């Protein structure tokens, strides 16, 4: 009897410890003024998978990024940590502001491209290939430092024309199937497309662990997938067209909390 009580107590302790490591926000937090995170449209099992950091497969990318943060690379003998020290402090809130206009290049940069710019210019290291495990890991680790903070990209001033370009892309019918992003993600979220519930196409959880791909995945890979699903020619990952679209989509999800790493179907 006593052994059984001890066992139950141990179980309760394990559950409590797990809960402490879970994201586990109330569902209302995933909606801001009618803007719904993809989490809102998930089934219960996928939600639980995201909520528990010990189960969430995207956490492997975050952990890999944490290790790479302190790893020296390139000709300058530096790691990310050499300049930015403790990411939990220095990177907090950074992901909420990207993509953003960059005066030096005169274009939009997302986190992936900023990481590569820093590698080349500050570390003397080679840029990481877009969608490589290494770049996804670093992007995930940095985004993870903003978990819970609201997305707030700047679309004013020099960013405005890129925002407009992204908005045009969003509402243009594409491919042999001839359907725009807006037709599904603005007009029909919550409806069933075959067996899948259409989401609003929000990116606040990105990089996400996508179950059908069995890997952590970037926003641009998702754009590519959506384009080719419409039998439309995609643009290269990291291209200016996708960066403009990413800016527009991030603004569409303004106020939604960063969830990285999210889990999606």
Partner 1 sequence: MRFSFVSLVVLLAAGAAWAQAVAPAAPPVPERTPLQAHLTGPIPPLVKVEIVGNTIPQPLTQQPGDPARGRRVIADASNSTCLICHEVPALAELPDQGKIAPPLEGLGSRYTAAELRLRLVNAKLITPDTMMPAYYRTEGLTRVQPQFAGRTIYSAQDIEDAIAFLLTIK
Residue with tokens 């302190």: 70
Minimum Å distance from CB 2 to partner 1? 51
Minimum Å distance from CB 49 to partner 1? 21
The answer to whether the Cα torsion of 140, 83, 156, 245 is positive or negative is: negative
Would you say 48 or 241 has its CB closer to partner 1? 241
Interface stretch with partner 1, choices 23-31, 58-66, 128-136, 160-168 (CB under 8 A): 128-136
Q: Where are the beta strands (DSSP E) in 63-198?
A: 100-102, 107-109, 192-193, 196-197
| DSSP bridge pairs for 257 | 150
Minimum Å distance from CB 228 to partner 1? 6
Phi, psi of 57 (to 5 degrees): -70, -20
Which residues in 30-49 contact partner 1 (CB under 8 A)? none
Cα–Cα distance between 30 and 151 in angstroms, integer?
A: 12
Q: Is 226 annotated in the active site?
A: yes
| Using rule CB under 8 A, residue 75 touches partner 1 | no
Would you say 7 or 213 has its CB closer to partner 1? 213
Minimum Å distance from CB 239 to partner 1? 9
Which residues in 53-72 contact partner 1 (CB under 8 A)? none
Q: Binding string, 151-180, against partner 1, x = CB under 8 A?
A: ---------------------xxxxxxxx-
Q: How many angstroms separate the Cα of 116 from the Cα of each of 137, 139, 248?
A: 13, 10, 22
Interface stretch with partner 1, choices 11-19, 52-60, 158-166, 232-240 (CB under 8 A): 232-240
Q: Per residue in 200-230, is it b (16+ CB within 10 Å) or e — as a string?
A: bbbbbbbbbbbeeeebbbbbbbbbbebbeeb
Contact 219, 227 (CB under 8 A): no
Interface stretch with partner 1, choices 20-28, 52-60, 202-210, 222-230 (CB under 8 A): 222-230
Query: Which residues make up the interface to partner 1 (CB under 8 A)?
Result: 126-127, 129-132, 172-179, 183, 187-188, 191-195, 198, 224-225, 227-228, 231-234, 236-238
- The residues assigned a catalytic role are 226
């Amino acid at each position: 009897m006593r052994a059984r009580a001890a066992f139950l107590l141990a179980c309760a302790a394990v559950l409590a410890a797990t809960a402490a490591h879970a994201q586990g926000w109330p569902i209302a937090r995933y909606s801001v003024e009618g803007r719904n995170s993809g989490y809102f449209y998930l089934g219960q099992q996928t939600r639980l998978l995201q909520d528990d950091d010990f189960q969430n497969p995207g956490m492997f990318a975050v952990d890999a990024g944490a290790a790479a943060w302190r790893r020296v690379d390139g000709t300058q003998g530096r790691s990310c940590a050499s300049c930015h020290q403790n990411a939990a402090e220095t990177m907090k809130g950074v992901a909420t502001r990207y993509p953003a206009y960059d005066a030096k290049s005169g274009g939009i940069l997302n986190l992936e491209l900023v990481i590569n710019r820093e590698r080349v210019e500050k570390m003397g290291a080679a840029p990481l290939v877009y969608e490589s495990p290494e770049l996804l890991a670093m992007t995930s680790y940095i985004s993870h430092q903003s978990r819970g903070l609201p997305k707030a990209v700047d679309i004013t001033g020099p960013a405005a024309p890129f925002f407009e370009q992204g908005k045009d892309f969003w509402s243009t019918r594409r491919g042999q199937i001839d359907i725009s992003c807006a037709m599904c993600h603005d007009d029909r979220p919550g409806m069933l497309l075959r067996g899948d519930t259409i989401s609003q196409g929000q990116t606040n959880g990105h990089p996400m662990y996508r179950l059908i791909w069995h890997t952590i995945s970037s926003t641009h890979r998702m754009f590519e997938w959506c384009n080719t699903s419409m039998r439309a020619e995609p643009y290269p990952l990291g291209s200016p067209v996708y960066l403009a679209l990413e800016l527009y989509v991030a603004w569409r999800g303004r106020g939604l909390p960063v969830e990285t790493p999210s889990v999606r179907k």
